[in-house]
Amino acid sequence: MGVLAAGVLGADSAVSGDAQQRLPRPARLAGRVSFLQVVAHPDDDLYFMNPDIADSVRTGGEVTTVVLTAAEAGGGARFAAARQHGLRSAYARMAGAGEDDPWRITALVTRGGEACLCELRANPQVRLVFLDILMGSYWGTTPGDENYTPLAALYHGKEKTRPVLRPEEDRVSGGVYTRDQLVGTLTDLMDRFAPSVVRTLDPDPERRGIGPQERAWATDSGVHTDNEDHTATAWFTYAAYADHRARRGPSEVTLDAYIGYGNARWKHNLGRPSQREKLKLLGVYGWADRRHCGDPVGCGDDTVGGNAARPGWSQSTNLRHPGTTDWLRPDAAGRLRAFAVVGGQAVMWRETAPGSGRYAAAVSVEAGSANDGVVGPASGSAANDAASGLANDAASGADGAAAALAAATRAAVSLSGAISAGATAAAGTTPARHVDQNTATALAPHLSVAVDGAGRAHLAGLRTITDPDQGAWSQEVVVTSERPDGTFQPWTSLGAPVGPKTKDSHAVGSPEAVVDGRGMLHVFVRNADKSVSWRHRDLASGSATSIAATPASAWSDWRDIGGNRVRDGLTATVTPSGDVELHANGQEFWSWRIGSDGDPQVIPTVLPPLGDPPTVRTLSDGVTLLAARQADTGELTVRARRRGLAWEQATTSLGGAAGFGVVALQPHGDGVFLAQRGRHGLVETVWQPHLDRRDGIQRWLSGPGPIQRPSLAVDARGLVVVAAVGPDGALYTARIDADDLPDTLDWRSWPLAQAA
């Protein structure tokens, strides 16, 4: 259908980003990377996902953002077109081009009609896809609480179709989408662009407000603290992701979700540099400079303008599943093992020998079977009916791969272009599906790893259950334990805890697992009421020689142990006496101790709220260290608590204000190593040899990017190992000798599978 309106879109290139503001690209990754975002409205990605998108553009990989609705609000087709212009300008700025540099715009045939594909001429790997589904009006059965949107109603089946609104000047014809057509269209787009990372919005937002000025909407689908267009977009994305994985076979594709309006309800986690960069791009989108761009509809969203900071969303970037940094752990022989979720399933890299610094290709944690157990009161029918296990990583050979690719190609409708070569992964078994329903399961993108006294690993994660045919989406906590022979048990579902006040099993947080000094495995999770729920199991209650013989009934029921206004992102540690201490951030800081009597006790703690989840480690002498990000400034800080005393109010500041997310902490001698997702999305590693001093800090900014949730450990040779999983699905490691510090870190990559 050719190029549409290119002359108008490229009319004036006089205004562009300053050269000094164009940040350098991170080091090239070992494998192909492609990022695909799915959002509801043209500013969701800028408010809630950046700086991750800007950092993704800097990798040199493909970056594609799909916008589901026309986002016309009260302004109709003309306003929808202006918002799209603003988003194109912001992406051009991220790519180092001028805000009004030209785009190639073509019609893309989808299952629901036609969409608008925009490719930046200066960098065709930067793309926007507008489906232009009519947003419509919010509605609901509770006066004053109308937050139920037509997009959510489409997913639930309460609306059968949604029409397409053609933005003004858009020559693409209209259309109409059913639920199946929208899921199918997103699946086709994933097939076409073959992402290694998929990003979307929060599928399970917090259910209750936490302050008198912070409302929660009582909608027909639950009580939400987010725009339900955001939530429905995530549901559609999860459904398409499941179908894409089924077509594509085992691959590196990972799905991350980002919190939306909830950013305004907690202390902010971005430092000033990241906030400024985020706001500049929102200002470009909002046409803050009121420049003349030659487009009669306007050059951006003038309802945002230069006031993007006002709602309080832009000052934070938060993952829906923040996770922890405990995933690099030694086994009984002293070999380091890295556990991660890649492609919706658990994988493990293992050192070839203790202290070798080399890792064999990742293997699937063989924890799936058709007979997964559901232990105790698993909340919700979806959790009880969940298909069990994860996909097997075994490939079926070249013929099978070719057949699978051909089948996927035949299944796709006429999305223009061929499926990217990156999608031609070897075919294997598809994600587990319920025999009677179109249900797909996948692990959320993080595992908590606990190690017992015998060196065996116990994994806890969240499993998502998607059934678009029933308009259903849910999460459940799952666990698996390592057998003495190194294999893992089938995943056991612990269901989802029910909030004691709301009786709601949604909004489950990321689980935190720990084994105490008495052989008890504990699993903690934040529940819908923003308090903490707990289950435990005595690992010694089964056979003395095989964990596999331990009966599933050994798990306790869920118990609420208290807490108020607790944020997701729990952290646990074991004291020298074998007790468990659990710590949580929130409107205030919470701590619990579980001693020999097995009864959780709240520890009075006076600490200010933090910007991100804390990481806590206890040393052999009883000193406990807490690493966290200071609220509002983004500064990395470490504070200590000596045995029997309160936390020291003085902190050691270690910089790092350009990062966000959970921080890795490794005590070493009289000091600490920290690792975080730092500037440009790279791994920032910090070494402070003496916590009681202000000088001597060493800092490295390098490695793959953009990354999330780095980890630290000490190997069998006494070297500090920093690790991260890159957006290409590979493990990246670097080693540091604290007695002979390197000027730069030597990063090495370890693939998911051996090259053919």
Q: What is the pLDDT of residue 170?
A: 65
Q: Identify the CATH class of 34-285.
A: alpha beta
Tens of pLDDT, residue by residue over 177-204, are 999 999 999 999 999 999 999 999 999 9
The token pair at 424 is 């031609």
CA angle 451, 574, 546 (to 5 degrees): 30
Domain segments of the chain: what residues? 34-285, 606-756
Percent residues over pLDDT 90 in the chain? 66
State the Cα–Cα distance between residues 513 and 668, nearest whole angstrom: 24
Mean pLDDT of 289-301: 91
Tell me which of 2.40.30.10, 2.120.10.70, 3.30.1330.10, 1.25.60.10 is the CATH number of domain 606-756: 2.120.10.70
Q: What is the pLDDT of residue 30?
A: 72
Q: What is the pLDDT of residue 141?
A: 56
Residue 501: other Cβ atoms inside 10 A = 13
Average pLDDT, the chain: 83
* Confidence band for 421, pLDDT divided at 50, 70 and 90: very low
The pTM assigned to this predicted structure is: 0.86
Q: What is the pLDDT of residue 548?
A: 46
Tens of pLDDT, residue by residue over 260-272, are 999 988 999 999 9
* Confidence band for 169, pLDDT divided at 50, 70 and 90: low
Query: Is there a contact between 31 and 194 (Cβ–Cβ < 8 Å)?
Result: no
Q: Which residue has the higher pLDDT, 165 or 166?
A: 165
Residue in 74, 100, 70 with CA at minimum distance from that of residue 174: 70
Sign of CA dihedral 325, 348, 354, 457: positive
Among 66-75, 86-95, 432-441, whose mean pLDDT is lowest? 432-441
What is the residue whose two structure tokens read 């969701």?
44
34-285 and 606-756 share one CATH topology? no
Q: What is the pLDDT of residue 508?
A: 94
Mean pLDDT of 497-507: 86
pLDDT over 90 at 487, yes or no:
yes
- Which amino acid, 640? A
pLDDT over 70 at 387, yes or no:
no
Query: Is there a contact between 713 and 330 (Cβ–Cβ < 8 Å)?
Result: yes
Q: What is the pLDDT of residue 280?
A: 96
The token pair at 146 is 């109308």
Tens of pLDDT, residue by residue over 683-717, are 999 999 998 887 889 999 998 889 999 999 999 99
Q: What is the pLDDT of residue 382?
A: 32
Tens of pLDDT, residue by residue over 586-612, are 999 999 999 999 999 999 999 999 999
Residue in 456, 449, 453, 528 with CA at minimum distance from that of residue 496: 528
What does residue 702 show for φ and ψ, rounded to 5 degrees?
Answer: -165, -165
pLDDT over 70 at 407, yes or no:
no
pLDDT over 80 at 422, yes or no:
no
pLDDT over 80 at 384, yes or no:
no
The token pair at 371 is 């007979």
State the Cα–Cα distance between residues 527 and 497, nearest whole angstrom: 6
Q: What is the CA 30 to chain-centroid distance, rounded? A: 21
State the Cα–Cα distance between residues 721 and 328, nearest whole angstrom: 9
What separation in angstroms does the CA of 488 have from each of 215, 366, 384, 491?
44, 6, 22, 8
* Confidence band for 638, pLDDT divided at 50, 70 and 90: very high
E-strand ranges in 81-173 read: 103-110, 113-120, 123-133, 162-163
Q: Which residue has the higher pLDDT, 502 or 568?
A: 568
Q: What is the pLDDT of residue 93?
A: 98
pLDDT over 60 at 329, yes or no:
yes
Q: Which residue has the higher pLDDT, 81 or 216?
A: 81
The token pair at 166 is 């053609």
Among 145-149, 195-199, 498-502, 614-618, whose mean pLDDT is lowest? 145-149
* Confidence band for 208, pLDDT divided at 50, 70 and 90: low
Q: Distance from first CA to last CA of the chain, Å, rounded?
A: 40
Mean pLDDT of 450-454: 97
Tens of pLDDT, residue by residue over 462-480, are 999 998 888 888 999 999 9
Mean pLDDT of 429-443: 53
